[in-house]
Amino acid sequence: MLTQEMTQEINVETAVQPIEAADLYAKLLAGADLAILDVRNGEDFARWKVEGRKDLTIVNVPYFAFIEDEDASLAQVPQAEELVVVCAKEGSSQYIAELLAERGVKASYLAEGIVSWGNLYDVRNVVDADWGRIVQVTRPARGDVSFLVISDGEAAVIDPLRHTEQYMQVLQDNNALLTHAFDTHGHADHISGGPALAQRTGARYFLHPYDAIHPLDMLPARLDYVPLQDGDQFVVGRVDVDVIWFPGHTLGQVNFRVSAPDGSHYLFTGDGLFLSSFGRPDLGGRGEAWTPILFESLFERLPQRIDDATWILPSHFSTLDEADVGGRFAQTYGTLKQQNDGLRPRSREEFTGWVLANLPHFPPEYVEIKRVNAGLVIPNEEEAGELELGKNICALSGA
């Protein structure tokens, strides 16, 4: 219960300032000495929260706990050079930040709450060369990463996310025309922006036909798409794009290899190979059958098609530790063979047993998202937002 004294105190003008989600992300990437106090209820906190590098301190003390027992709540407030208070929409975190300021604890609060974190997109160049650019578009709250390859006024987008404005802006900034909208596979964790972008720009939308069938419903997609197959080749400006079939996460998963005129190679792996793991093989409901297929993709197909200097650019990250200091989620294949435990040589049997023992929880909404991405269900904005709540769970846990 608020006492009159407390009410008067929170009405006092204080120096408490909001922090924008983009600024918070920059600090998290930089590994700043920062702690987060999340004042939502425990259930909402457990569903999803702001995540940073592994050593980020984040503590959940619900708003009502401060009201019920202020001293006990204050004792749980983490110590750091900078403290950011987070709530659902801003109101309670501002209140708590002001209360902390009154008690001598300096804190800011996340502007527009966790909603603004969920909607944050980060756009940055991964490669800026004379032949063109690779632009990375990340949705940090979900661990989703997508890319545009731009060369000579043409562009291809790979695994675009649902909010297409981000990509339209990049195209406009680079004076480029979208020619190819590629999905590496039929996604389960997020709604693809590929068909919508194709419609907005006149580009063609590409997908492997194996992923144009819902794996659980066994219904064919209602999509306007161009089928991909292993070995397909495309030209975007001055770069060549070729398709490498990489089944396992899904049967229709493909990688796109971009070869630039300066001899550099970039492999967009989607949910095939990640920087610290690889895509789980069970989201189609057939983990036991698909794990040996994934083994062949990882250890037989891939080494035959790329060299160690090829840059790997996946469509998900698990933690911000996978980003370099410039916020890029990319690493060479040679380095990944040393660092990614998923690429450690194992026999087929050992690999299969290890994968099947480490499959994470299967989010039930993934079945419905696959329906959306197959054009079988069309959600409204609110339903789409609900389906996409929280962090992706596409990687094998423990890998």
Residues taking part in catalysis: 87
Dist. CA 219–CA 237, nearest whole Å = 36
Residues 6+ apart with CB under 8 A from 304: none
What 8-state DSSP symbol labels residue 370?
Answer: H
Task: With CA atoms as reference, report the closest residue to 27 among 105, 112, 130, 140.
Answer: 140
Q: Which is nearer to Fe ion, 63 or 366 (CB)?
A: 366
Quick one: residue 232, left, alpha or beta (phi over 0 = left, psi -120 to 50 = alpha)? beta
| Residue 271 interacting with Fe ion (CB under 5 A) | yes
Cα–Cα distance between 253 and 271 in angstroms, integer? 8
Q: Are 39 and 87 in contact (CB under 8 A)?
A: yes
Q: How far is the CB of 165 from Fe ion (least distance, A)?
A: 23
Residue 12 CA: distances (Å) to CA of 69, 85, 278: 21, 19, 52
- Asked if residue 268 lies in contact with residue 255, where contact means CB atoms within 8 angstroms, the answer is yes
Task: Compute the least distance from the CB of residue 146 to Fe ion, in Å.
Answer: 12
Contact window for Fe ion (CB under 5 A) among 17-25, 97-105, 170-178, 268-276:
268-276
State which residue, 40 or 316, has the beta carbon closest to Fe ion.
Answer: 316
Stretch binding Fe ion (CB under 5 A), from 25-33, 39-47, 169-177, 270-278 = 270-278
Chain centroid offset of residue 126 CA = 16
What lies within 8 Å, CB to CB, of 391 at 6+ separation is 48, 51, 141, 142, 143
Residue 228, phi then psi, degrees to nearest 5: -95, 150
Report the alpha-carbon distance of residue 157 to residue 200 in Å, rounded: 13
Compute how many residues bind Fe ion; rule: CB under 5 A. 3
Which range, of 17-25, 182-190, 329-337, 355-363, touches Fe ion by CB under 5 A? 182-190
- Which region among 14-22, 235-243, 326-334, 389-397 touches Fe ion (by CB under 5 A)? 389-397
**In terms of CB distance, is 154 or 211 closer to Fe ion?**
211
- CA angle at 55 for the pair 386 and 388, rounded to the nearest 5°: 10
Question: Which CB, 98 or 189, lies closer to Fe ion?
Answer: 189
Nearest to Fe ion of 142, 180 (CB atom): 142
Q: For Fe ion, which is the closer residue by CB, 90 or 282?
A: 282
Q: Which stretch binds Fe ion (CB under 5 A): 34-42, 88-96, 184-192, 227-235?
A: 184-192
**Nearest distance, CB of residue 206 and Fe ion, angstroms:** 16
Q: Which residue is nearest to Fe ion (CB)?
A: 271
Nearer to Fe ion, 111 or 394 (CB): 394
Minimum distance of Fe ion from residue 270's CB (angstroms): 7
E strand or H helix that includes residue 135 = strand 132-139
Q: What is the dihedral of CA 251, 372, 219, 316, to 10 degrees?
A: 10
Min dist. Cβ of residue 25 to Fe ion (A): 23
CA distance 363 to 44: 16
Q: How far is the CB of 12 from Fe ion (least distance, A)?
A: 50
Residues numbered 186-205 forming contacts with Fe ion, rule: CB under 5 A: 187
The C-alpha atoms of residue 73 and residue 80 are separated, in whole angstroms, by 16
| Number of C-beta neighbours around residue 172 at 10 A | 9
Q: Find the shortest distance in angstroms from Cβ 367 to Fe ion.
A: 13
Query: Which residues bind to Fe ion, rule: CB under 5 A?
Result: 187, 271, 394
